[in-house]
Every structure is written in structure tokens, then in C-alpha cells.
């Protein structure tokens, strides 16, 4: 690839740069090549978190601090190339949240949007603006920007889910607002299932118009997405790069379910190997079922159910399923598409 020449450094120029830095000035020609690159150059590294290794730390956190004291008992999955930055990619946050039997994570709201992808346990709920939804493994649950939310676990087992938030995007834009609720558990104002009946049945209330950019559906249950994958995989050929892949949508607009985060679920048939693929949207994957391996650039990662791995922007990725496997994934693709920046490349260059 051709590149522009880099300006020579001389003692005279160095002295000049030093001199003007006191006036908050800097020479662009020293930095341009590192900023305007021929293709994405990212400090984000491919990485994997094996659930069997992380789970004991999460349970230890459960002994050390309550959900109430922590507000949210979450272990951040921090990208090794972004130490201290609370990010799994430049634009997205990932964390594993633990809520123990009987605990409540108190109500609050903030401008950051969250998704929950349920990993372990059954029967905890999250409440969004007065309505609870009970969560099961594989469910994709949304907490839209600026909605009140608290979580509770009335079941008898620990409940763990992956939190995906747009925290780094909101930080980039300095657009964070947040407030605590006036009590830990928000009042239930609608019975569970009301949201599903109104918005998740290919029906919408007749005069309802979307007031926000997030999907009105806040739980996309795994039972339904898994059934779609099953039928799809029986009745057609897999996409060479993606296997059988679906995106979660906002039924009112057809757009992604969240304005800042795209989410997907895909089935890889037993023995299937995908062709290399890359896009500018760095992506977090969760292995939901099965086992396999994923090549990211020149690194190979072996995964099984509950493992989480991250693919940096523009890194070639290919998956191979040892057994039939299901992967959930999320990225900042909606943001990039709206800004006209999203690109993909299928197959080898
Ligand atoms: O569950 O409300 O992982 O507000 C980070 C921020 C979870 C939550 C996180 C949050 C939450
Ligand atoms: Fe929150």
C-alpha cells in the first residue's frame, strides 16, 4: 500500500515544536500519518474470556460486595489493548453482571443504552419503566436510554448476564446524564407480558408512534430466536461468511433494535467453516451453544458455550463449529452506518 512521506525531524524543528506546545499548538505533519491511515489501525486486540475461568471470580465478587452496595455487581471485560479504559472495543462496554438470590440492583436511569444477554440462571427479572420481564438463558433484553431500570433475583440460584453498553460512545460525546431512583425497587405499573402483547406480536397499538429510537420490544426471548434459526437452517443454505444469521430489529422501523448497538444471532451447522469476513464494526461475540474455534487475524481462539470473544475493526474473522453452534454478537454498526462509515469485505482481499 502506498503511503505519504513522513517529515524529517531536525533539532531546529524539534525546538520549534517544543516552543509552540506552551501555546497549545502542535504540528499536524508530525501526526497526520498516524491519524489518517490507509485502513483501520486499532489498539483493540482480539481476546477471549473463558466463562469457566471468569465465573469463580464473579462468585468471589458475590462474597465481597452486595448488589445493593455495588449498585451493579459487574466485572468489566476490558480489552487488553485498552487497559484502564473500561471498554471492550473503542465504542462499546462489556461486563458480566451477577445477581444473587434475594438481591435487588437498585433503580436508576441514564442516557447510556444497555443490552443484556442472559448467560446463566433463570427467573431473575429486569424492570424497565414499570414493567418487569423474567429472563432466561439466551434472551436478548434491552434497557433503552433514559428508562428507569432495576434488577431482582427472586429465584434460588445465581443469575449472570452479559451487559453490553454504549458507555464509550456517550463518553466520546460527553452526553452522560444519570439519576438514582427514589427507591430501590420501582413501582410495577403494568403486569408482566403487557409489552410483549402490544409490541412483540407483529402488531402495534393503532395510534402509537415511536417517541424514541429504541425498539418498543424489550425482551427478545431465546425460545423464539432459536426456533427461527432452527427452521432457517433446515430450509436453506448457510451464508458462506455468516452461517444462518439474523439481526434483532425494531418492529416499528425495521432498523436495528437499538440506535447505537446492533445485535445478531447466528447458527453454524456442525462442521461448518465460514469464509473470512471483516467489517469496520468491532464485534463482541458470545458462544451460546456448541463449541468451535474462531480465527481472528492470525490468532486462533477455541470456545464453548458462555465464552465471550472480541473481534477488532477490520480484523479478518472466520468461525468453525465442531458441533452445531449458536453465536450472539453485538457491535456499533448502526452508528457507523448512520455516519456513512461502515464497510465490510467478504472473503479474502
Ligand atoms: O445494569 O444498569 O454493566 O447501569 C453498567 C452500567 C450495568 C445496569 C452495567 C449499568 C448497568
Ligand atoms: Fe443502568
* 332: CATH: 2.60.120.10
Number of separate domains in the chain:
1
**217 ligand 1 Cβ < 6 A:** no
10 in any annotated domain:
no
Nearest CA to ligand 1 atom 8: 72
58 in any annotated domain:
yes
Q: How far is CA 223 from CA 60, 136, 140, 205, in A?
A: 31, 9, 11, 24
**Structure-block grid coordinates of residue 152:** 431482582
297 in any annotated domain:
yes
34 in any annotated domain:
no
**94 ligand 1 Cβ < 6 A:** no
31 in any annotated domain:
no
- Write the DSSP assignment of 309-338 as a string of letters: EEE-TT--EEEEESS-EEEEEEESHHHHHH
Q: How confident is the model at residue 2 (pLDDT cuts 50, 70, 90)?
A: low
Average pLDDT over residues 28-41: 95
**CA 58 – CA 104 distance, rounded (Å):** 17
40 in any annotated domain:
no
Which range marks the domain in which residue 138 is found? 47-346
- What is the distance in A from the centroid of ligand 2 to the CA of 77? 17
**Residue 185's pLDDT is what?**
83
177 in any annotated domain:
yes
**Residue 318's pLDDT is what?**
98
**165 ligand 1 Cβ < 6 A:** yes
pLDDT digits (tens, 9 = 90+) for 215-263: 999 999 999 999 999 999 999 999 999 999 999 999 999 999 999 999 9
Nearest CA to ligand 1 atom 11: 72
Quote the pTM value. Answer: 0.97
- What is the distance in A from the centroid of ligand 2 to the CA of 186? 13
Nearest CA to ligand 1 atom 9: 163
215 in any annotated domain:
yes
Residue 349 has pLDDT above 70, yes or no: no
Amino acid at each position: 500500500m502506498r503511503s505519504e512521506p513522513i517529515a524529517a525531524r531536525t533539532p531546529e524543528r524539534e525546538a520549534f515544536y517544543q516552543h509552540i506546545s506552551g501555546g497549545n499548538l502542535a504540528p499536524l505533519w508530525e501526526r497526520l500519518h498516524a491519524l489518517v491511515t490507509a485502513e483501520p489501525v486499532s489498539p483493540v486486540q482480539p481476546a477471549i474470556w473463558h466463562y469457566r475461568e471468569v465465573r469463580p471470580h464473579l462468585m468471589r465478587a458475590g462474597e465481597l460486595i452486595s448488589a445493593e452496595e455495588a449498585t451493579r455487581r459487574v466485572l468489566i471485560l476490558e480489552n487488553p489493548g485498552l487497559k484502564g479504559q473500561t471498554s471492550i472495543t473503542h465504542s462499546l462496554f462489556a461486563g458480566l453482571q451477577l445477581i444473587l438470590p434475594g438481591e435487588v440492583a437498585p433503580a436508576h436511569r441514564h442516557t447510556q443504552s444497555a443490552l443484556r444477554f442472559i448467560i446463566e440462571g433463570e427467573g431473575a427479572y429486569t424492570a424497565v419503566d414499570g414493567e418487569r420481564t423474567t429472563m432466561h438463558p439466551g434472551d436478548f433484553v434491552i434497557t433503552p436510554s433514559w428508562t428507569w431500570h432495576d434488577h431482582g433475583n427472586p429465584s434460588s440460584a445465581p443469575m449472570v448476564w452479559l451487559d453490553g453498553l454504549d458507555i464509550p460512545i456517550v463518553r466520546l460525546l460527553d452526553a452522560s446524564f444519570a439519576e438514582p431512583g427514589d427507591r430501590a425497587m420501582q413501582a410495577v405499573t403494568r403486569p408482566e407480558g403487557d409489552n410483549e402483547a402490544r409490541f412483540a406480536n407483529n402488531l402495534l397499538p393503532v395510534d402509537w408512534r415511536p417517541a424514541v429510537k429504541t425498539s418498543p420490544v424489550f425482551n427478545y426471548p431465546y425460545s423464539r430466536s432459536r426456533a427461527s434459526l432452527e427452521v432457517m437452517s433446515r430450509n436453506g443454505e448457510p451464508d458462506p461468511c455468516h452461517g444462518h444469521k439474523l439481526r434483532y430489529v425494531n418492529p416499528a422501523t425495521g432498523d436495528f433494535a437499538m440506535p447505537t448497538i446492533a445485535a445478531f444471532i447466528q447458527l453454524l451447522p456442525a462442521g461448518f467453516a465460514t469464509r473470512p469476513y471483516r467489517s469496520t464494526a468491532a464485534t463482541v461475540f458470545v458462544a451460546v451453544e456448541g463449541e468451535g474455534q474462531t480465527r481472528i487475524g492470525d490468532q486462533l481462539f477455541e470456545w464453548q458455550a458462555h465464552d465471550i470473544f472480541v473481534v477488532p475493526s477490520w480484523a479478518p474473522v472466520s468461525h468453525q463449529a465442531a458441533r452445531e453452534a449458536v453465536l450472539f454478537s453485538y457491535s456499533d454498526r448502526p452508528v457507523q452506518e448512520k455516519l456513512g462509515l461502515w464497510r465490510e469485505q467478504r472473503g479474502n482481499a
